Amino acid sequence: MIKKMLNVNGVEKVIIIDADATLANVIRENLFLTGTKVGCGKGECGSCSVIVNGKVVRSCITKMKQVPDFAVITTIEGVGTPQNLHALQMAWIAYNGAQCGFCTPGFIVSAKALLDENRNPTRQEVRDWFQKHHNACRCTGYKPLVDATMEAARVLRGEISMDDLAFKIPSDGKLWGTKYPRPTALGRVTGTIDYGADLGLKLPGVLHLAIAQARTSHGNIISIDTSEAQKMPGVVKVLTCKDVKGNNRIVGLINMPTNKGDGLDRPILCDKKIFQYGDAVAIICADTEANARAAADKVKIELEELPAYMSAPAAMAPDALEIHPGTPNVFFTIKNIKGEDTKPVMESAPYVVEDEFYTQRQPHMVLEPDVGAAYMNEDGVLFIYSKSTCLHLHYAMIQPGIGIAPDKLVIANPPAVGAMFGYKLSPTMEALLGVACMATGRPVTLRYDWHQQQTYTGKRSPFFMKVKMAVDQEGKLIAMESDWTVDHGPYAEFGDAVTVRGAQFMGAGYNIPRIRGEGRTVYTNHSWGCAFRAFGSPQAEFASEVLMDELAEKIGIDPLELRYKNVYREGDLTPTGQPPDVIVFPGLIDKARPHYREALERAKKESTPQKKRGVGVSIGVYGCGLDGPDSSEAWVELTPDGVTVFNCWQDPGQGGDVGSLITAHESLRPLNIAPEKIRLVMNDMSLAPMAGPSAGSRQQLITGQAIKIACEALLGAMKKPNGTYRTYDEMVTEKLATRYVGQYTTPGTPPDLETAQGSPFSVYQYCLFLAEVEVDTETGKTRVVKMSSFADVGEICSQLAVDGQFYGGLAQGIGLALSEDFEDIKKHSTMTGAGFPFVRDVPDELELHYQQTPRPLGPYGAAGCGEAPLTSPHAAVINAIHNACGVRITHLPAYPEKVLSGLKAKA
């Protein structure tokens, strides 16, 4: 132990701590300043940044013995308070820099150190600073963070005031379509809102959990020895499958009746087999996280090793064992049959192209590793707090497995949730928390480190695709043939749904009268497949969008103009035989065309023999919602002080709070209610109704409609015969109800499993992407120099939220194209190894353009927007590489060595 005298946020502190304790843990656990976050724990993400003696320090890798006595330390709490914001915090609110907000304290602290040193930085200097100090963000695409820093610098230089940054309500009082800040932004920028790990630290009598994980990918369990772990310091209990009171299975989602799985293939704690590297075998419950983790390393697993099938082709081999005995490794198939047979026209078409494509196992790489807490209340109800984006669904998926009575389980979100981009559509630790809390009778908390985040949670399912397209003499598409195989890892949940997406989105955006295709889902022993933003479309649309460029090259036509000839128009049908909900692509291409021409001229002018510039385009389509009818419910209640809105629009950073608020505000405008008088009660099963998952860009559409319907019912009850509205007191006096329910269900039909035809979504989102790249012909390295999107997501509810989704989606598309992967379990278990896009990897030139076509079924004309930005931007990048240097990459990611190999082959 050592004694340290410190000045923390202007307050003198004397602390006695372990010399090897990290500064981050001391700040959080000894000083209770939980605004500082721990993300990667390896100094790669910058979420833990603080200022020590004027310098930015990554506190998660700084030992206390390295901190000098009398050090002056500034954390986010010392930058500014909710009552006295710093200019950086105000700018972060104004520019929506805090989407999920987990990285926000680290960025603001880092930016403060920059502006303390340089009040007049250039944009490049800001970007270089964030790169130097390892400040990483997965949500924003970095541009809003640079914008916010530059504006804060203007305030500090006296060029503008803090009031200039503050949002001004328009004279007509309308918030719809504006940049009204999200209600939780204040807590995020000041570090005063609790995330999962913060909540866990504040539970009285809490036990810290750690999981013992498998270190092999496939094997039969012979024995699990916990005796040594039981004896480790601080250990209260070690739990295995024998301690699980229920059936020890997650109820997987078998969406399609032809799925050959039973939906019970994923154990909570492995009992008979190990199915993938990182599977949970035991839970250690201890007094500290460090003691729990140390004990987890002592659990011994004796195995009979089995062949590990690490790809779909390996698992499909004739001699491959069944990963789940009794269920074939190919456990789901679907055909896509539209129009007449393709064979005659394929044989006679003047232009035909075909190719093979592969999209990789993309890791979500969130900065807040999976985290949660659980406790029993005085009535014996188990409350589980997690990053779940589908509270009621996860309840149904874990309740039988943990063995608790149906009326004794509640799942909720902490006040703030770090980003997830789809992985939390699957329960990851909810059941583990429930088992441990039930077994110990004490509050528990569990936080994965970044290695566990990578090895335990799901990934985007790789697709192996063969696609063939034909056009007539005029360049009109006449047929498509496709075959796709989905590597879904060892657990079936969502596997059939993502395979169906191949049929729905391969060739999406174009009228293709004849289609024949077949897709299949395969069990493997690599990471289990789960939802990832734009679920299925980045795989499917990559193939068809790159093939469209191949067609354009063969015909000798401009790629954008070939698309213009073939995009949806009145009377056309989608690949599933459904009329498009709106016709928007001709307008989007018209809007993009001048920018495209300028980009081509720019590339031609700026190319050199070593640094070749190129331009690529792609289009993207995604549906809003789940296949077929999709429902949500919301409540509104008139109160003495205003109106309260209740829903479970789970918000991992996309803006569920501001979407709920602005939709309710628009619905209640006849009352002239101020936005601060609308209270939100969200994301707790015990307090608010089921809104369905925050996935598939469905919430603004479906929960938005439910909010609108509930508000209209309230207004109807409040309205007097003379057209004015009753007050709360008048409603009570007249014994009129003050709470109203809104329910909404979309029209639609699930896909026909013989043909994939149907009307799965009632509303769609559409996008066109324009990528400008530079390829180094000596190294093969590709740099994206500019990325633009031209989108139609209906009438925009929150401009800030929609912009944020697009900036972040474009950055993730660049990562998908060039760097991100989780193939090599050891190499890809770190941020750098897995190809995380840092600020140097994402251009500062991100341009967003919108065309707002009202959706007839959307609330106030809105559609969803979260998936559109990641449907196919990576295809535009890959097409731009070919335009630059003639190398066509069909197997992602486009690592430099792949591009260089292509250049050498051409030479």
Q: Order the strands of the 273-274 sheet from edge to edge.
A: 273-274, 219-225, 300-305
- Report CA torsion sign: 143, 144, 147, 149: negative
Nearest to 614 by CA among 352, 208, 887, 402: 887
Q: Order the strands of the 782-792 sheet from edge to edge.
A: 611-623, 764-776, 782-792, 846-850
Residue count of the chain, please give it.
Answer: 907
Q: Which amino acid is at 467?
A: V
Kindly give, in sequence order, each residue whose CB lies less than 8 Å from that of residue 285, ignoring residues fewer than 6 positions away.
Answer: 207, 208, 209, 235, 236, 237, 238, 239, 292, 436, 439, 440, 442, 444
Placement of tokens 């390892």 in the chain: 134
**190-213: burial string, b at 16+ Cβ within 10 Å, e else:** bbbbbbbbbbbbebeebbbbbbbb
User: How far apart, in Å, do the first and last CA atoms of the chain sit?
Assistant: 64
**274-300: burial string, b at 16+ Cβ within 10 Å, e else:** bbbbbbbbbbbbbeebbbbbbbbebbe
CA 818 to CA 784: how far, in whole Å?
9
Q: Which amino acid is at 340?
A: E
DSSP class per residue in 778-827: TT--EEEEEEEEEEE-BS-SBHHHHHHHHHHHHHHHHHHHHT----STTG
For residue 837, give the DSSP letter: -
676 close to 668: Cβ distance less than 8 angstroms = no
DSSP class per residue in 413-480: --SS----TTGGGS-SSHHHHHHHHHHHSS-EEEE--HHHHHHHS-BPPPEEEEEEEEE-TTS-EEEE
Both tokens assigned to 755: 């043909």
Q: Order the strands of the 2-8 sheet from edge to edge.
A: 11-17, 2-8, 71-74, 49-52, 55-58
Q: Give Cα 711 distance to the centre of its chain.
A: 30
Catalytic residue positions, numbered:
867
3-state secondary structure (DSSP) of residue 754: coil
Kindly give, in sequence order, each residue whose CB lies less than 8 Å from that of residue 380, ignoring residues fewer than 6 positions away.
Answer: 408
Kindly give, in sequence order, each residue whose CB lies less than 8 Å from that of residue 53, ignoring residues fewer than 6 positions away.
Answer: 68, 71, 72
DSSP class per residue in 223-287: EEE-HHHHTSTTEEEEE-GGG-SS-SEE-----STT--S-S--EESS-SSEE-STT-EEEEEEES
Nearest to 48 by CA among 33, 69, 30: 33
Segment holding 744, helix H or strand E: strand 739-745
Both tokens assigned to 383: 């409350």
CA 10 to CA 31: how far, in whole Å?
13
CA 680 to CA 673: how far, in whole Å?
14
Nearest to 344 by CA among 481, 237, 216: 481
For residue 725, give the DSSP letter: B
Placement of tokens 């004015």 in the chain: 724
Q: Which amino acid is at 366?
A: V
Kindly give, in sequence order, each residue whose CB lies less than 8 Å from that of residue 506, ignoring residues fewer than 6 positions away.
Answer: 336, 465, 467, 480, 482, 484, 517, 540, 541, 543, 544, 575
